[in-house]
Amino acid sequence: MRLTIIGAGHVGLVTALCFAERGNEVLCVDHDAAKVARLSKGEATFHEPGVPQLLAKHGGRAVKFSSSTAEGTAFGEVIFICVSTPSLPGGGVDMRYFEAVSRDIAAALTSYRVIVEKSTVPIRTAEHVKRTVQRHAANGGRDAAGNALFDVASNPEFLREGAAVKDTLEPDRIVIGVESERAEKLMRGVYAGFSAPVMVTGIPSAEMIKLASNAFLATKISFINAISRICELGGADVAEVARGMGLDPRIGRHFLGAGIGYGGSCFPKDVDGLIHVAADLGYPVPLLAEVQRINRDQCAHLVDAVRDELWVLAGKRVALWGLAFKPDTDDIRESPALRIAAALIAEGATVAGYDPVAGANAVAACPGLKLASSAADAAAKADALIVATEWPEFTALSQNPASLAALKRTMRVPAVFDGRNCLDAAAWRTAGFTLRGMGR
């Protein structure tokens, strides 16, 4: 099929490449001309395993790039909108990019198209898209015979950064929200080459499945983090507690890792978005506000622990290992590591950060953060070491006593704070470090 993707970011680019991998012809549009130029040269614009290889295979062939939404509208019978839907400063979702794309598609609409919401959007977004397209398209979005020239559909994306290519090629479910048979047929055709179960729903349900899924996962993380605080006070080990809980199939073991909390471009903003949507609809959900509060408090709790250890933070050097919001990505949006860095810097500490791939993005986003060239460079002469992202480079040290001994010799104070409970505490303590985890 000929498919158009609008927004060549983490979701749009991966979706475009994976649709090409499944045999489709794709035009990927982004309004950022510099990004389009880099992608057209075969250059990946962010770190994501598998993307450079797919870009080399399909770029300029099955996937072409453009900065024109009009060209995109003329190209694909199905148009996936994958643009950013960030949080507004006062909460709620900023739909300005999504609205702009809807208007641009409307202005270029000449034959039937399915306009698909792939970005994460508030429930009832499709109603707004429909009204916007009708308002801005010639003849109200109808052909000469009065037939509608478009349908709106919802096809939420569940990929995880760091595993985005695999998640997109082998999704665990495909959710399609539609309100016409024609749109359903085309959407089923798009996913004909995928082996995942397809679930067809009404559009509001599809929109809600995504929001509810992210809010549930975030709630699970905040739940175990709240439990971890009780564990700390009561002398329990949250890792053991989580393992014991997770063996119950009704609970499951995933998303029960206590730590400095969730970040990234999705959970914080999507929980926030759902809080606002629910309130707008007349059913405020304080539970979700509490989920966000517990999450934010985890970073403050770690900073408290560092202060407790070092007494005064001003003038101290703190090594911060891991700056991305999770491993295998250079995405630093809402990264807990940067929240911790900012708090330490505000108290006068020098923070030497290191990340295998996210260093440049982190320095640009966090004023005062000093970038180290390696994990060892960050830790040299440090009064404390915080592990904020569980990159294998850091966790593997637990198996290497000689490296741990060498690391200890270079630090001023061998105090380690494991913000992800990802280090083998016994190995680090045997090497002479004091190690504090989260909730253990």
Ligand X SMILES: NC(=O)c1ccc[n+]([C@@H]2O[C@H](COP(=O)([O-])OP(=O)(O)OC[C@H]3O[C@@H](n4cnc5c(N)ncnc54)[C@H](O)[C@@H]3O)[C@@H](O)[C@H]2O)c1
* Residues making contact with ligand X (CB under 6 A): 6-12, 29-32, 35, 69, 82-85, 97, 100-101, 119-120, 157, 159, 161, 265-266
Q: Please state the φ and ψ torsions of residue 313, each to the nearest 5 degrees.
A: -90, -30
CA gap 79, 4 in Å, rounded = 5
Q: Which is nearer to ligand X, 100 or 148 (CB)?
A: 100
Would you say 85 or 228 has its CB closer to ligand X?
Answer: 85
Rounded Cα gap, residues 16 and 8, in angstroms: 8
| Tokens of residue 186, six digits | 């085309």
Residue closer to ligand X, measured from CB, 3 or 416: 3
C-alpha separations of 92 from 85, 269, 296, 334 in Å? 10, 8, 18, 16
Shortest Å distance, C-beta 229 to ligand X: 28
Q: How far apart, in Å, are the Cα atoms of 151 and each of 33, 77, 118, 185?
A: 28, 11, 14, 12
Single-letter code of the amino acid located at 234: G
Gap between the Cα atoms of 209 and 228, Å rounded: 28
Which one, 221 or 242, has the nearer CB to ligand X?
Answer: 221
Count of beta carbons in the 10 Å neighbourhood of residue 103 = 17
List 28, 82, 266, 366, catalytic entry = 266
Partners of 329 in beta bridges: none
* Minimum distance, C-beta of residue 415 to ligand X, in the bound complex (Å): 34
**Residue 10 vs 301, nearer CB to ligand X:** 10
C-alpha atoms less than 13 angstroms from C-alpha of 203 in its C-beta half-sphere: 26
Helix axes 267-280, 286-310, angle to 10 degrees: 140
Question: How far, in Å, are 102, 150, 187, 205 from residue 73 at the CA level?
Answer: 10, 11, 17, 26
CA atoms of 274 and 288, how far apart (whole Å): 8
- Taking the complex as a whole, how short is the minimal distance between the CB of residue 29 and ligand X, in angstroms? 6
Closest contact distance (angstroms) between CB of 210 and ligand X is: 7
Cβ-proximal residue to ligand X, closest one: 9
DSSP assignment letter at 369: P
Please report how close the Cβ of residue 361 comes to ligand X at its closest, in angstroms: 12
Residue 16 Cβ vs ligand X, minimum distance, rounded to whole Å: 11
Whichever of 30 and 383 has its CB closer to ligand X, that residue is: 30
HEC profile for 289-349? HHHHHHHHHHHHHHHHHHHHHHCCCCCCEEEEECCCCCCCCCCCCCCHHHHHHHHHHHCCC
266 annotated active-site:
yes
CB of 32 or CB of 297, closer to ligand X: 32
SS3 411: coil
CB of 101 to ligand X, least distance (A): 5
Which active-site residues does the annotation give?
Answer: 266
